[in-house]
Amino acid sequence: MRCPFCGADDDRVVDSRAGENQSVIRRRRECLGCGRRFTTYETVEEAALSVVKRDGRREPFDRAKIVRGITVACEKRPISRDDISAAVDRVERVLFEKFEHEVPSSEIGELVMGELKILDEVAYVRFASVYKSFQDSEAFMRELKKLVAEE
């Protein structure tokens, strides 16, 4: 590891401990060149997932897109950032467990809708109305009736 202060690449690990969610290791290091200490974080590099869009295009998986989609759906609703983050973590975990290289965008949408249905019904309906591209009010009403019937 290169020292951020003097640029030397000789250091020793002073302390190591697991991060909050056990997927990150925090290491406190001391530069043997200048003697200053700095912190590094070590994570497992996940295999890259590609998202297969409806039109067949492929793009890299981007967690931030899921966060944005859920955040927009939850706007002005009593849902904390921690709840949103936990929902995104669950979606991401399922995707990386279930798919190795490519995931259909429809699978991501269905997982997000499942999480939103648990978090907040209004956020679920908001997301579903965009995700499912309702063509008319009848399609929208059918989705609402399904939601009410499940209760």
- Residue 151: predicted pLDDT: 65
Please report the pLDDT score of residue 129 as a whole number. 82
Identity of the amino acid at 27? R
> So what's the pLDDT on residue 46?
64
pTM of the model as a whole:
0.65
Evaluate the CA torsion angle 7, 9, 13, 16 in order and state its sign: positive
Note the pLDDT of residue 41: 87
In the predicted model, residues of the chain with pLDDT beneath 70 are 20-21, 45-47, 151
* Cβ atoms of residues 81 and 133 within 8 Å: no
d(CA 111, CA 101): 18
Per-domain residue ranges of the chain: 11-43, 50-150
